Chains A and B, each alone.
Chain A
Amino acid sequence: MDAIFAETLWITCKFAVFTTLILIVVGLPLSYWLAYSKFRFKPLVEALVSMPMVLPPSVIGYYMLVAYSPRHWFGGWLLDTFNVRLAFTFEGILLASVIFSMPFMVQPLQNGLRALPDSLREASYTLGKSKMVTFLRVLVPNIKPSIITAIALTFAHSIGEFGIVLMVGGNMPGETKVASIAIYDEVQALNFAKANQYALILFSISLLLLTIIYSVNKKHDPWKAM
């Protein structure tokens, strides 16, 4: 295994792990809010979260690239205050991926929370427990299958991310070049053996993850047993 190959896989792995970790932290409170809030414009927020599922990656990628530009207020503000450039950097594709994979994390969590009987939350409140304690000790442990599904989907989806990474990250070896892009590169260079190596690894990881999701969902169905 040559150094570039290893580096590309390392970046892909780092990219998927960070995306997933950030999304767990952001996704749990967001899906809690989406599941229970009575906010009037909630449907709009829900629609925004789900946009990546219907839009081509190039559309979101284009807008993000524009926003990252130092001439845009967002890009300019990042550069002035933090001295951070996002265009064509690892941080840039990470942020893009967090936004683009959001629905894969939020939707299973939100559905899991909604499927819990209201009485569980209410029972915890009447037993004197705060919303935070209720969330952490009653709600989260009872949507474990949804959490596993959300993590696996997000991870698998970010490993396979192509369009938005290419759009926002370009193809910088050692910085933004992930396996899915490397495959494209190798094919362009008629390097089919290399492309196959990348492809096989991505295929195997995704297959493994999806198999885990389905076997977990088959085993856990706490509401049928209740």
Chain B
Amino acid sequence: MNKLPGKITQMQQSGAVLLVDVDVDGQGFSALLIEPAARPEWLQAGHTVHLVFKETEVSLAKNLSGLISMRNRMMCNVSKVERGELLSKITLHFRGHSITSAITTRAVDSLQIAIGDEVEAMVKANEISLMNSI
């Protein structure tokens, strides 16, 4: 599980669907949740929360140009590459936090990812959960 601490800046509700904007060290994130209008106490603007997302949901890109629908984009440095037979684990540095991405080894090869590279990590809004940080 990747965990990033952030602060809720804004929330937009439509029926049971809730879009939450979270600020992590100056970078904006959005999380799409299913949440009834009576939300738990911690799920309010101004509260500190953790963004939680699974390693396998983190896509990587190099020299990305053009438009893309992914709302959560992090410019990172590669700090570690663990190659498996089919699945590899890339450890990334993002503004002082550590993030792990699990992608296929084929993708690692085609992007030619190596330690020290600058890559962009991306997660869809609906893949991010929020957790109360106590």
Q: Do any CB atoms of chain A lie under 8 A from CB atoms of chain B in the complex?
A: no
